Structure 1
């Protein structure tokens, strides 16, 4: 995800408090929300709880934001976590069914583009903002292109991250009440140690790959490059990826804060005219993705929750957390999610420009 949204400074509510006090409030509120969710068996409670707390703090005037370096580290940790789930059986399954998976990816992109075109033609949003804001993934790329194209970057960011909140929340509810709740993590406890040498090797590979992906300006490179390299090395037996649950819990929490703190009163006031159309387009896209999940279940015989998460329209990192916290085939989920991100990154800007020129 990109750096914090551009906006004016808050001067009321929590914004009057010193930054350390705001962080304490955020931590306390996160704990108060997360613990009941965890005890109730919600998957990804360590993501959803902090995310909801971050939204509450942001809407209450909070001015604190995570430094971009923390999000870089979050992506690396999540990439290694998912890389540990990739198996040889999965690679064969993906290779045998890539035409169907490509069809699913293109269908999601097509419907999201149609939603953006419809909103743009209605005149609800200025210029081509709706086209970029409705893109199904690659948020940072779409925001950069939107700015170059003269669109309202704040509205684009609002639409992108509102979809992340909706998709993450709905997927968590589906996993909880669909009987797929589970840790999806190693059997050791939260504070139990893991072998130091494998941990050091995995972190060294992840940090180096993440830095390369970031420096080369590859979209979501801090996630995709460590994920690809970690998967190959883990499959070959060159390294054994084992991450402490304490590290994963910290990454989940920081990711939730990074999403939630972006929602401020200034942004909501700026985007109030686009709120209902954006929500309607998100609901339509999530519903269409669920139909695609049914298609995967019927044709590939995979379980419904795996199919649902695999077709959910972003974001990649939050879906990774939910997949790892549920009883699903996380590697299958991430393969389809990664394929969508790659296609959106390559074709999305040109497609958005093409539609924008005709709207």
Structure 2
């Protein structure tokens, strides 16, 4: 029992120290970025096994999700028609860019075009990696590296880029009783389990968001999650991300490692240009626009938006549109491509 608990305890201690240090240094999103960096670096110096149960990450996502859901502006649902065309245009721009990057990557590295395409597609990390593991002609290590380095770069760099655009907001001093918060989190977790049964993307985040919106629609008073609980949720998510990139994942050809970094830089640059377009056309702040268009996960971008008081509901809608576009358009097309390029995979 002790042998199983110690690796988790090590990560918890390292993550808390990271959050405390980054908070002390007044760095952006300290309770997520701090654990991410300290846990990531610890793997290269500590020879002891490190472990972080998915349950902790899921609880963190549930807390972040219900926080966004209870603050979701219902007026956004009325403007979805206007936002739809911008979301569609941004997704098409990113997909065309990723196809171009895939062709260039395949040409100048030893990666197959199939592997390069899967490595270059932004977002939907879990779905892409699971799909890649089912393909015989795909280099899973390269695909995993490209997606993990993108997640780490986006989650690490974007908070510093938008930290100068933090909205100064007066936070209410009245907090709900602890028991009310626990009941809300438990109910949100149950809703997340239901969402997972229906194979909803990122169910432990999106399920609670929808649950919070539902409570808003029926006008039920929702308990307020305290800042300390939100910090714990960010620590849980940050520690999970920090453990994603292991030293073994870097044992790839130098050219592959270099192209993975170049891929991230180009996607971030195009995201910046798209954010400027969204700012101009929809009159959102830079922080909200950049987080909406960034090639990161929906849950991570929404978490950052919540931390800097950007419009997390708008960010969630934009990122959800990308995830749905990937799930229902891109992945099915990739499946057809894989069947044609590798007929043996049919059997």
One fold, TM greater than 0.5? Answer: yes
- Whether the aligned pair in 2 keeps the contact of 1:202 and 1:230 (CA below 8 Å) is no
Alpha-carbon distance, 1:209 to partner: 1.5
Determine the structure 2 residue equivalent to 1:118: 104
Q: CA RMSD in A?
A: 2.8
Structure 1 segments unaligned to the other structure (5+ residues) = 1-17
- Whether the aligned pair in 1 keeps the contact of 2:123 and 2:296 (CA below 8 Å) is yes
Alpha-carbon distance, 1:290 to partner: 0.7
The structure-2 alpha-carbon separation of the partners of 1:113 and 1:181, relative to structure 1 and needing over 3 Å to count, comes to farther
The structure 2 residue matched to 1:42, chosen from 7, 22, 27, is 27
The structure-2 alpha-carbon separation of the partners of 1:172 and 1:28, relative to structure 1 and needing over 3 Å to count, comes to same
Quick one: higher RCO (CA 8 Å, sep 6+), 1 or 2?
1
Alpha-carbon distance, 1:55 to partner: 0.8
- Pairing 1:46-195 to 2, within 5 Å after superposition: 46-60=31-45, 61-126=47-112, 128-150=114-136, 151-176=138-163, 178-180=164-166, 186-188=171-173, 194-195=176-177
Q: Counterparts of 1:143 and 1:355 in 2: how far apart (Å)?
A: 16
Question: Secondary structure of the equivalent of 1:248?
Answer: helix
Alpha-carbon distance, 1:27 to partner: 4.4
Deviations 1:128-157 (A, max 9, x none): 222222221111111121111222323322
Alpha-carbon distance, 1:324 to partner: 0.7
Alpha-carbon distance, 1:241 to partner: 4.4
Alpha-carbon distance, 1:275 to partner: 0.9
Alpha-carbon distance, 1:252 to partner: 0.6
Determine the structure 2 residue equivalent to 1:224: 206
- Whether the aligned pair in 2 keeps the contact of 1:109 and 1:344 (CA below 8 Å) is no
Determine the structure 1 residue equivalent to 2:307: 325
- Whether the aligned pair in 1 keeps the contact of 2:8 and 2:51 (CA below 8 Å) is no
Determine the structure 2 residue equivalent to 1:15: none
Alpha-carbon distance, 1:21 to partner: 5.7
Q: Counterparts of 1:91 and 1:168 in 2: how far apart (Å)?
A: 27
The structure 2 residue matched to 1:282, chosen from 231, 247, 264, is 264
TM-score by length of 2: 0.87
- Pairing 1:330-341 to 2, within 5 Å after superposition: 330-341=312-323
Structure 1 range deviating more: 133-142 or 239-248: 239-248
Structure 1 range deviating more: 125-134 or 343-352: 125-134
The structure-2 alpha-carbon separation of the partners of 1:200 and 1:51, relative to structure 1 and needing over 3 Å to count, comes to closer
Alpha-carbon distance, 1:24 to partner: 5.4
Deviations 1:155-175 (A, max 9, x none): 322211110111111211112
Determine the structure 2 residue equivalent to 1:240: 222
Alpha-carbon distance, 1:300 to partner: 1.0
The structure 2 residue matched to 1:316, chosen from 298, 301, 313, is 298
Aligned residues: 338
- Whether the aligned pair in 2 keeps the contact of 1:306 and 1:329 (CA below 8 Å) is yes
